[in-house]
Amino acid sequence: MKNFHQKKCFITGAASGIGRAVALALAKEGAQLALTDINADALQAVAEEARAQGATLLGTFPADISDYDAVTKMAETLHQEHGAMDMVMNIAGISTWGTIDHLAHHHWRSLVEINLMGPIHVLETFVPPMIAAKKGGYIVNVSSAAGLFGLPWHAAYSATKFGLRGISEVLRFDLREHNIGVSLVCPGAVDTGLVQTLNVVGIDKEHPKAQALAQRFQRHAVTPEHAAQRILQGVRKNKYLVFTSRDIQFGHWFTRKWEWPYTVVMRLMSGMINHTKKEIEQENKA
């Protein structure tokens, strides 16, 4: 897919962050957009901005992608009115971190329902019509660096992102005969709303040491607009793995070529973060 002009693109998580940036980037290229997000007001604002920049709006759908019936209704409406989509982009997601002794069952469940089952709902309702249309197409699944590495405190989050990576790895081969490309996007630090809404279980986010860690993250973060451009470049080049920053690309190479140093680095990172956690807990007890 070298050109996005008049291409029918379905985007989840379109109201903010990477999803919003991708929607507006496609709008400038004259794409036809179908947008969904759980935040109705912000979604409508993005839709108006996209229309002003040249997009044709196929529809806006305030919905929770973890709701299979809601996704099914969206798919049925779009397919009845506009036919199969040319590109389906799974971008919506949430983030919760924490050690296993602090994570409750509902943390695991919400991550699985939104980050993993949400994309599955989209894929199972949108991809079969793409196959039936016999016009090819493209799928973009946004995973994470946590879908590549065993990052500290990311067990629940990584479960969903590794899962989406596995689905994408299979689909890239299964869908090749139908001329449907697949890109797996693995962002590192991106300065989106998730930075503010990130739930770190068992840690006071307002503590100075926790704030210092957040600021360190943001110093290395790329903008959503930069991430969006890297994603669209990856689609144009039919790249399977798409990185939004060089550090994650290097890290992926590093883990494959130098497994022992990777283990050492992950242990050092885990030790550093756990040390910070213990300092905060001790200060709170004092």
Secondary structure letter of residue 148 according to DSSP: T
Average pLDDT of the residues of the chain: 90
* Mean pLDDT of the 53-68 span: 97
Strand order across the beta sheet in which 137-142 lies? 56-62, 32-37, 8-12, 87-90, 137-142, 180-186, 241-243
Reported as a single tens digit per residue, the pLDDT across 114-164 is 999 999 999 999 999 999 999 999 999 999 999 999 888 899 999 999 999
Tell me the torsion sign for CA atoms 34, 38, 40, 42: negative
- Average pLDDT, integer, range 58-77: 98
| Residue type, position 52, single letter | A
Residue type, 272: M
Residue 35 makes CB contacts below 8 A (sequence gap 6+) with 10, 11, 14, 15, 23, 43, 46, 47, 50, 57, 59, 60, 61
**pTM of the predicted structure, to 2 decimals:** 0.86
pLDDT at residue 75 is higher than 60: yes
CB crowding 40-61: b at 16 or more within 10 Å, else e:
eebbeebbeebeeeebeebbbb
pLDDT of residue 84: 98
Architecture of domain 8-285: 3-Layer(aba) Sandwich (3.40)
Lowest mean pLDDT among 15-29, 45-59, 254-268: 254-268
- Per-residue pLDDT at 190 exceeds 90: no
Mean pLDDT of the 177-181 span: 94
Q: Is the pLDDT of residue 194 over 60?
A: no
Give catalytic status of residue 157 as yes or no. yes
Of residues 14 and 248, the one with the higher pLDDT is 14
User: Which candidate in 68, 138, 157, 262 is catalytic?
Assistant: 157
